[in-house]
Structure 1
Amino acid sequence: MSRRLTGNARIAGVIGWPVTHSRSPLLHGYWLERYGIDGTYIPLAVERDFEAAVRGLRAAGVRGANVTKPWKEAAFALCDVIQTSARRIGAINTLVFDERGIVGSNTDGFGFLAGLGEAGIAVDGKRALVLGAGGGSRAVCHALSEAHAHVTIANRSRRRAEQVAESLPEIAVLDWERRSRAIGDYDLLINTTSLGMAGSEPLDIDLSGAQASLCVSDIVYVPLETPLLRQARQAGFKTADGIAMLLHQARPGFKAWFGVDPVVDQPLRSLVLATFNH
Structure 2
Amino acid sequence: MSAQDRPRLAAVMGWPVMHSRSPLMHGYWMEQLGLSGGYIPLAIEPGTLGPALKALHPLGFAGCNLTIPHKQDALAIVDEIDEVARRIGAISCVVVRPGGTLFGTNNDWLGFLGNLYEAQPDWRADSGPVTVIGGGGGARAIVHAMLSEGVPELRLVNRTQARARQIADTFGGPVTVLPWEDRHDALDGVTLAINTTSQGMVGMEPLDLRLDALPAGAIAADIIYTPLETPFLAAARARGNATVNGLGMLLHQGPPAWKLWFGLTPEVTPELRARLERSILGR
Is it true that 1:142 corresponds to 2:140 in the alignment? no
Aligned twin of 1:89? 88
Q: Which amino acid aligns with 2:33?
A: Y
1:263 correspondence with 2:261: no
The answer as to 2:54 corresponding to 1:55 is yes
Shift of 1:113: 0.6
Within 5 A, what are the aligned runs for 1:52-131?
52-99=51-98, 101-121=101-121, 122-125=123-126, 126-131=128-133
Q: Residues 28 and 254 of structure 1 are in contact (CA less than 8 Å); yes or no, is this contact kept in structure 2? A: no
- Name segments (4+ residues, structure 1) moved above 4 Å: none
Cα distance in 1 for residues equivalent to 2:15 and 2:197: 23
Alignment of 1:242-261 (within 5 A): 242-261=246-265
- Shift, 1:54, TM fit: 2.0
Amino acid at match of 2:253: Q
Correspondence 1:155 to 2:158: yes
The SS at the match of 1:19 is coil
- Structure 2 counterpart of 1:213: 217
> Equivalents in 1 of 2:183, 2:205: separation in Å?
17
User: Which of 159-168 and 69-78 deviates more?
Assistant: 69-78
Contact 2:155–2:186 at 8 Å: present in 1 too?
A: no
8 Å contact kept, 2:191–2:217: yes
| CA spacing shift, 1:70–1:273, aligned 2, 3 Å | same
* Distance change in 2, residues 1:133/1:266 (3 Å): same
1:179 maps to a residue whose letter is R
Shift of 1:147: 0.9
CA RMSD of aligned residues (A): 2.0
Partner amino acid for 1:102? L
Q: Which runs of 5+ in 1 are unaligned?
A: 1-5
| Equivalent of residue 172 in structure 2, options 145, 169, 172 | 169
Q: Distance in 2 between matches of 1:44 and 1:162?
A: 34
* Distance in 2 separating the partners of 1:123 and 1:77: 36
Output the CA distance in 1 between the equivalents of 2:36 and 2:248.
26
Rounded Cα–Cα distance in structure 2 between residues aligned with 1:242 and 1:69: 16
Normalised TM-score (structure 2): 0.89
Which residue number in structure 1 is paired with residue 204 of structure 2? Answer: 200
* Contact map agreement 2:12 2:64 (CA 8 A) in 1: yes
| Structure 1 residues 70 and 214, CA gap change in structure 2 (3 angstroms) | closer
Shift of 1:274: 2.5
Q: Distance in 1 between matches of 2:130 and 2:192?
A: 4
